[in-house]
Amino acid sequence: MVYGVLLAGALAASPARVIIVDIEAIEARFGLSSETPAPIAGDSGAQAQWQRQSDMLDALPQLIAAAAEKANADMAMRPATAKRLGIAADDATTAVSMALAEQFPEVR
Amino acid sequence: MRRLLALALFAMANGAHAGHILVADLSEAYTHSTALSGLLDAVDAELARIRTEYQPEIAKLQSQLRGLDKTQSAERLRIAREIHQIESAAEAAEVRLIEANQRAIATVDAAIDAAKTAVAAAESAHALLDRNELLYVSPDCGCDRTEAVFADLNRRLPSVELKIDR
């Protein structure tokens, strides 16, 4: 009986499996910024670069989700959040960064 | 052996509590919090009241101004000054509304923090995070407590008063 109660408690409150992703480091590495204004119409080179940046930023959430699923993690958070909570977690920054580079080989 | 098993299970239970993280999506607080949705209605009503109080007089004076010819410069100046005074009064009323809104939102924010703390404490969770603090949350994590946080918040603070300095 006692074991049952303890086991139920252990399972119900199972610890979250967490990965950390340093999103700011990835953005810095690839020169991404969500605040970059759209270039003036007519400059096709700048327009293409801006569009690629936008596509890469759009791809990041899916790549983080894929990394979390691969690591069987419940959640992904920034290193600062994990530090604030005192959580030790696997760092998936390199994996996400590599997946992004793979998806956009032209910016490697 | 039984004692060892009990100790191991006890350690599992306690260790698990230390890392138990809950999540709440508070991005739609304005629709799920009765206090915030009521506040939104109160702000809209006050904005409408300000418009009703000041706009008709401004429109009347602007009409008078259009009716004057260029030789009536003193009268034109008097009306322009009056319009400016009324517009300043309307702007001051809007500033007081903004300040009152900020105070009310601070009250709701404090209640949201208290609701998050209460929900986390009820489950002995390590933390309850805002969904936007996280980069990803598995839909299968069983950690979403959005409904519990809003239920606690609505019990704790069903409404919030928009206190405007007059």
- How confident is chain B (166 residues) per 10-residue block, as mean pLDDT? 49 45 94 96 96 95 91 91 96 97 97 97 94 95 96 98 92
Answer yes or no: do B137 and A61 touch at CB < 8 A.
no
Interface ipTM > 0.85: no
Q: How confident is the model at residue A11 (pLDDT cuts 50, 70, 90)?
A: very low
Q: Are B9 and A5 in contact (CB under 8 A)?
A: no
For chain B, how many residues are written? Answer: 166
| The two structure tokens encoding residue B134 | 């996280």
Determine the Cα–Cα distance for residues A37 and B91; give it in Å rounded to an integer: 32
**Looking at residue B34, what is its pLDDT?**
97
Sign of CA dihedral B88, B91, B93, B98: negative
Question: A92 pLDDT exceeds 60?
Answer: yes
**Looking at residue B10, what is its pLDDT?**
43
Q: How many domains is chain A built from? A: 1
Q: How far is A28 from chain B (nearest CA, A)?
A: 17
Answer yes or no: do B141 and A64 touch at CB < 8 A.
no
Q: Using the CB atoms, write b or e for B80-93: b if 16+ within 10 Å.
A: eeebeebeeebeeb
For A21, the domain range is: 15-107
Determine the Cα–Cα distance for residues A68 and A62; give it in Å rounded to an integer: 10
**A95 located within any domain:** yes
Looking at domain B21-156, does it have CATH number 1.10.357? no
Q: Which residues of A touch B (CB under 8 A)?
A: 2-3, 6-7, 9-10, 13-16, 18, 21, 23, 61, 64-65, 68-69, 73-78, 81, 85, 87
**Looking at residue B8, what is its pLDDT?**
44
Sign of CA dihedral A100, A72, A12, B142: positive
Q: Which of residues 33-92 of B touch A (CB under 8 A)?
A: none
Q: List the CATH number of the domain containing A81.
A: 3.30.910
Of B26, B18, B91, nearest to B55 by C-alpha is: B91
**A2 located within any domain:** no
Q: How far is A75 from chain B (nearest CA, A)?
A: 4
Mean pLDDT of A23-34: 90
Mean pLDDT of A92-97: 97
Tokens 């306690």 belong to which residue? B14
**Looking at residue A1, what is its pLDDT?**
46
pTM of the model: 0.76
Query: Within chain B, where are the H helices?
Result: 2-18, 29-32, 34-67, 73-122, 146-156
Question: A30 pLDDT exceeds 60?
Answer: yes
Show me where the domains of chain B are located: 21-156
In chain A, residues with a C-beta closer than 8 Å to the C-beta of B127 are 85
Determine the Cα–Cα distance for residues B41 and B145; give it in Å rounded to an integer: 27
Alpha-carbon distances, residue B109 vs B27, B42, B116 (angstroms): 13, 18, 11
Determine the Cα–Cα distance for residues A11 and B16; give it in Å rounded to an integer: 8
**Looking at residue B17, what is its pLDDT?**
32
**Looking at residue B3, what is its pLDDT?**
57
Of A30, A31, A22, nearest to A64 by C-alpha is: A22
Question: A2 pLDDT exceeds 70?
Answer: no
**Looking at residue B127, what is its pLDDT?**
93
The pLDDT tens digits of the residues spanning A33-85 come to: 877 777 777 777 788 888 888 999 999 999 999 999 999 999 999 999 999 99
When scoring A34, A74, A91, A100 by the number of chain B Cβ atoms within 10 A, the one with the most, hence best to mutate, is A74
Answer yes or no: do A15 and B138 touch at CB < 8 A.
no
| The two structure tokens encoding residue A91 | 């760092």
**Radius of gyration of chain B measured on its C-alpha atoms:** 27
**Looking at residue A45, what is its pLDDT?**
79
In chain A, residues with a C-beta closer than 8 Å to the C-beta of B136 are 61, 64-65, 68, 73, 75-76
Q: Which amino acid is at A101?
A: A
When scoring B10, B123, B135 by the number of chain A Cβ atoms within 10 A, the one with the most, hence best to mutate, is B135
Question: A24 pLDDT exceeds 50?
Answer: yes
**A5 located within any domain:** no
